[in-house]
Amino acid sequence: MRAVLTLLAAPASATDSSLDFRSCHEWWHDRWVISSYSHLQFAAPVAVAVFLLACRTPGNYRNDAAHKQLLQTLRQCLVEVPISGEKNKGFVSPCIGMDVASLNGISRSRLIDALGPARFCISQNETSFPEKDDCPADQNPLWSFYRLADPMAMGGGPELVCMANKSTYCVTLEWQRSR
């Protein structure tokens, strides 16, 4: 530090012996120029990055007007599935073309509040009906956005699935097609 102050305080002449460094590399590595706290130069950005990662939300979802509108539109589409289209014919909601990736990270409870109870609960091994409004923690809730022509027929269509992976929020919210 004293060397830097000396350099700043007194103008250097071409013959000044205090600047008798062999190269710029030596000057920058002088023990007075480089702080003894140089290890903190690396630790501080790492600490900030860890803090920001710990405080981030698990996905893209924010409780703002655009996301509220998207949830409201999805809810309206669900309500219209049973009454839309021609009677005795299948119907697929036009909402299945909507990009729902911005809802990744939404809590399961907020999604259920917005869309109503899940239609089914699925896991890799089983399918069941929801207990009360939500599915068991080890199953993912889904909502059907289609109607079959014959209500007694087996079949499938586009479904909105909250891939929760045993958590309280949707890691991803995605369209899947059942069979």
- Predicted confidence (pLDDT) per residue in 9-42, tens digit: 445 444 555 555 565 555 555 555 555 555 556 6
* pTM for this model (two decimals): 0.64
Total domains present in the chain: 2
CA distance linking residue 35 with residue 28, whole number of Å = 11
Considering the domain architecture, whether residues 19 and 42 belong to the same structural domain is answered as yes
Q: What is the pLDDT of residue 55?
A: 46
Boundary residue ending a domain (55, 78, 93): 55
- The boundaries of the domain holding residue 144 are 65-177
Please check whether residue 173 is in contact with residue 162, taking contact to mean a CB–CB distance below 8 angstroms: yes
Mean pLDDT in residue range 96-101: 92
Q: What pLDDT does residue 49 have?
A: 57
Give the C-alpha separation, 137 to 128, whole Å.
12
Answer yes or no: do 18 and 100 share one domain: no
Could you tell me if 87 and 167 lie in one domain?
yes
pLDDT computed for residue 85 by the predictor: 82
pLDDT above 50 for 7: no
State the Cα–Cα distance between residues 90 and 157, nearest whole angstrom: 10
The neighbour count for residue 142, using CB atoms within 10 Å, is 21
* Mean pLDDT calculated for residue range 130-155: 86
Report whether 92 contacts 157 (CB < 8 A). Answer: yes
Q: Are residues 95 and 144 in the same domain?
A: yes
Q: Which residue has the tokens 């091994």?
A: 125
Residue with tokens 């803090």: 51
The pLDDT score that the predictor gives to residue 86 is 84
Strands (E), the chain: 91-92, 120-122, 127-128, 140-144, 146-147, 158-163, 172-177
pLDDT band, very low/low/confident/very high, at 129 (cuts 50, 70, 90): confident
pLDDT at 113: 94
Would residue 60 count as lying in a domain? no
Distances (CA, A) of 174 to 11, 96, 116, 134, 153: 68, 10, 17, 18, 25
Q: What percent of the chain has pLDDT over 70?
A: 65
Does 54 have pLDDT greater than 80?
A: no
CB-CB contact of 134 with 116 (8 Å): no
d(CA 148, CA 28): 75
Name the pLDDT band for 84 (thresholds 50, 70, 90).
confident
pLDDT of residue 40: 57
